[in-house]
Amino acid sequence: MKRYLARRLLLMMPTFVGITLLTFVVAQWAPGDPFQLDLETAGPSQQVIDAQRAARGLDAPLPVQFGRWFSRVVRFDFGRSFVDQREVTQKLSEALPRTGRIAGLALLFGFGLAVPLGVQLAVHRRRRWARWLEFTLVAAWSVPSFWLAVLLLTFFSEWFPVQGGVVLPVICLTWPTLVVATRQVRSAMTDALGQDYVKAARARGIPERRVVWRHALRNSLLPVVTMLGLHLPHLVGGSVVIERIFSIPGMGLLAFEAIGSRDYPTVMGAATVMALVTMLSMLLVDLAYAFIDPRIRLEKAS
Amino acid sequence: MKTLDRRGRAWLMVLAVLVAVALGADLLASDLPLLARVDGKTWVLPCVTRPAQLIGKTPDWALRTPIPFGPLQTVASTGEVRELPPPWAPDEAHWLGTDELGRDVAARLIHGARVSLFVAFFTMLIALAVGLLVGGASGYLGGFTDAVLSRVLEVMQTFPLVFFLIALMAVLRTQSLWPLVIALGLTRWTEVARLVRAEVLSLSTREFVLAARALGASPARIIGRHLLPNALGPVLVVTTFGVGSAILLETALSFLGIGVAPPTASWGELLTEAHRTLQYPGAWWLAVFPGLAIAGTVLTVNGLGEALRRTLHTSRREAANG
């Protein structure tokens, strides 16, 4: 187990460097820099601009800029925002919990509802209502969450406080999670129910409820746990749109607005933190997986 | 044999209709007629050719398109006057209503179909090419190449790609659709690559590949004749689902105002308008119809993907049984 953990952590290093590099390249790609924006409107002299650029280290060669930036990232120092001069770390620590609360609730409700629903669908898969529900799920899968948000705001805006409070954004983020997770639980359960150990359990006269909810469900939870890790980046992506619609000053909106105003430190900080959170959750999922299933632990370690 | 089942064929038909609507957008909704006689001269399909001489002329007679409005035509330019300013609810003149500038929603939806399907199709074509190349190289060459490419894949899958897309669009955005297609293609290839890698890895240990190698077949022949044709089925399924998610991503980007540049009609942009015009209470048609178009199209593509998967599943089982 320790060797497996060490291996996983070691593999995360190049990924992390890659992510910081990608963030850096993306930020460099964005046209101009904040002082060019000022130039278009106010028009300070070239000397002032050069001085400002030098003060922020924007005049150094790119590899040097990346080296400087990387050494600070490791210490969680993203510098100050170009726009409002506040510490990026502080801005991020304000925004992260806001996104975390919504995304966490969405995950909780999404998976909480998906497990019973998926199990029922798998158990009754030959019934007509289950087939209809399954088709409904495919249809629901095709409904973008931002349309759901616009619809909810169009038809129910007077039922909820200004901009929907927490309820509407959580509904909108839960939606895709629920749909994806239910499909995953259903297919994993369908597979599990066809296995020999289920037949054996039934043959031994174990009550059907126990066979379904203990024997089959436990085994089908493994792929569902993996899916949870893979779903996180999608949730982060979805939160950009949802936060913009409901004006929630979370990570998504912060990054979106920072890119618009060419505020590189904030963009790079937000992207790095989001990638880091995703990476850590994937690691947790991987560890949970290895912990539950000894086969993986032993195979990977050898 | 591999043929689509009945449901699959039905989805394929619906998709064909959607493509036909997208391709024939100019024939279905245009401010210019299909056939017109102006000043003793007959014009054929001015709605497609858009001759400058016709603008502002009153024809002697004209055969209008089913929806006699263009996607960019506002109420002001049609000279239509009503008691209330737009947005107008659906009626006989505007089947799906108009937006706040008085542009016909149905006309914009039909022209938006062209944008969405074009972007999604070419996005997945790029993603397919990159994915086949990266996944194939990773799986076939193995070793160091595989290690590096697997890391790249992991970075792409961990990184919140929406940020990547937003930044990319800030650089590339023009009136042309190609920058959007390239940006989306550069983010959508990972699934294809992962699948191709796995398929190639499992196929290259199969007997027929080993036999080909033993017979002295060149790597190009092994890849071209043995690996790719056998991996094609699952790749096709993933690519089909990818078209669906590319449509969703394009509409989401356009909704954020960084996808298709206005005034080009796109479904995402139409929903932005619905969000912006929430101050007109009861303008439900602005929110409902564009969303239905998006969801319906994605459903069709996903339905086709499911059908392809079913077909593949059964044909594999048949192959295994006999």
* 3-state per-residue secondary structure call for B20-35: HHHHCHHHHECCCCCE
Q: What is residue A234's predicted lDDT score, i.e. its pLDDT?
A: 80
Residue B167 at interface with chain A, using a CB cutoff of 8 Å: yes
Tell me the C-alpha distance between B59 and B156, whole Å.
57
Q: Which of residues 236-255 of B touch A (CB under 8 A)?
A: 244, 248, 251-252, 255
Question: Is the pLDDT confidence value at A37 over 60?
Answer: no
Is B147 in the A-facing interface, judged by CB distances under 8 Å?
no
Contacting A residues, span 110-139, partner chain B, CB-CB under 8 Å:
138-139
- What pLDDT is attached to residue A124? 92
Q: What are phi and psi of A136, to 5 degrees?
A: -60, -40
Range list of β-strands (E), B226-301 = none
Question: Backbone phi, then psi, for B42, in 5-degree steps?
Answer: -95, 130
Instruction: Record the tokens describing residue A16, joined without a space.
Output: 């992390």
Q: Which residues of A touch B275 (CB under 8 A)?
A: 150, 153, 245
Residue B318 has a pLDDT of 62
- Say whether A26 and B168 touch across the interface (CB within 8 A): yes
DSSP B69: -
How much is the average pLDDT of A121-147?
A: 90
Strand partners, B98: B104
- Across chain A, what does the average pLDDT equal? 82
Question: What are the tens digits of pLDDT across the range B214-229?
Answer: 998 888 888 888 888 8
The Cα angle at residue B201 between residues B197 and B206, in degrees rounded to 5: 145
Beta-bridge partner residues of B105: none
B29 vs B21, which has greater pLDDT? B21
* A279 touching chain B per CB within 8 A: yes
SS3 annotation, chain A: CHHHHHHHHHHHHHHHHHHHHHHHHHHHHCCCCHHHHHHHHCCCCHHHHHHHHHHCCCCCCHHHHHHHHHHHHCCCCCCECCCCCCEHHHHHHHHHHHHHHHHHHHHHHHHHHHHHHHHHHHHCCCCHHHHHHHHHHHHHHCCCHHHHHHHHHHHHHHHCCHHHCCHHHHHHHHHHHHHHHHHHHHHHHHHHHCCHHHHHHHHCCCCHHHHHHHHHHHHHHHHHHHHHHHHHHHHHHHHHHHHHHCCCCCHHHHHHHHHHCCCHHHHHHHHHHHHHHHHHHHHHHHHHHHHHCHHHHHHHHC
B294 vs A contacts (CB less than 8 Å):
142, 144, 147
Chain A partners of B251 at a C-beta cutoff of 8 Å? 144, 146
In tens, the pLDDT along A198-236 reads 999 999 999 999 999 988 988 888 888 877 777 877 888
A260 at interface of B, judged by CB pairs closer than 8 A: yes
Rounded to 10 degrees, the C-alpha dihedral A128/A133/A137/A143 comes to: 120
Measured distance CA(B115)–CA(A300) in Å, rounded: 46
- Average pLDDT of the segment spanning B146-152: 88
Determine the pLDDT at residue B322. 40
List the structure tokens of B223: 């890849």
> What pLDDT is recorded for position A233?
77
What one-character DSSP code corresponds to residue B44?
Answer: E
B58 secondary structure, DSSP code: P
Greater pLDDT, A136 or B77: A136
Residue among B167, B295, B302 minimizing CB distance to A147: B295
Report, as an integer, the average pLDDT of B80-104: 78
Please determine, for residue A34, whether its predicted confidence score (pLDDT) is greater than 90. no
- The neighbour count for residue A121, using CB atoms within 10 Å, is 24
Q: Which of A103-112, A289-298, B211-220, B285-294 has the lowest mean pLDDT?
A: A289-298
In this structure, of A170-184, A205-219, A260-274, the range with the lowest mean pLDDT score is A260-274
Q: Is B155 on the interface with A (CB under 8 A)?
A: yes
Average pLDDT, chain B: 84
Q: Which residue has the higher pLDDT, B201 or A228?
A: B201
- Asked whether A242 and A163 are in contact (CB, 8 A), the reply is no
Find the length of chain B.
Answer: 322
The CA distance from B273 to B252, in Å, is: 13
- pLDDT at residue A40 is higher than 50: yes
> Looking at per-residue confidence, does A163 or B19 come out higher?
B19
Contacts of A60 (CB under 8 A, 6+ apart): A68
Cβ contact (<8 Å) for B161 and A240?
Answer: no
- Which of A142, A230, A241 lies at the smallest CB-CB distance from B256? A241
Q: What is the pLDDT of residue A302?
A: 43
Which residues make Cβ contacts (< 8 Å) with residue B118, sequence separation at least 6?
B22, B177, B181
- A-chain CB neighbours of B284 within 8 Å are 154-155
Nearest CA in chain B to A139: B299
Neighbours of A261 (CB within 10 A): 15
Nearest CA in chain B to A163: B278
The beta-carbon neighbor of A142 closest among B158, B244, B271 is: B244
Q: What is the mean pLDDT of residues A45-59?
A: 69
Q: Is the dihedral of CA B74, B80, B84, B88 positive or negative?
A: negative
Q: How large a percentage of chain A has pLDDT more than 70?
A: 85
- pLDDT at site A163: 56
Q: What is the tens place of the pLDDT at every residue in A138-148? A: 888 889 989 99
Q: Say whether pLDDT at A89 is over 60.
A: yes
C-beta of residue B100 within 8 angstroms of C-beta of residue B279: no
Q: Where is B42: in which H helix or E strand?
A: strand B41-44
How open is the CA angle B236-B240-B242, to the nearest 5 degrees? 115
Mean pLDDT, range B250-273, rounded to an integer: 85
> In angstroms, how far is the first alpha carbon of chain A from the final one?
11
Q: How far apart are CA B70 and CA B28, in angstroms?
A: 10
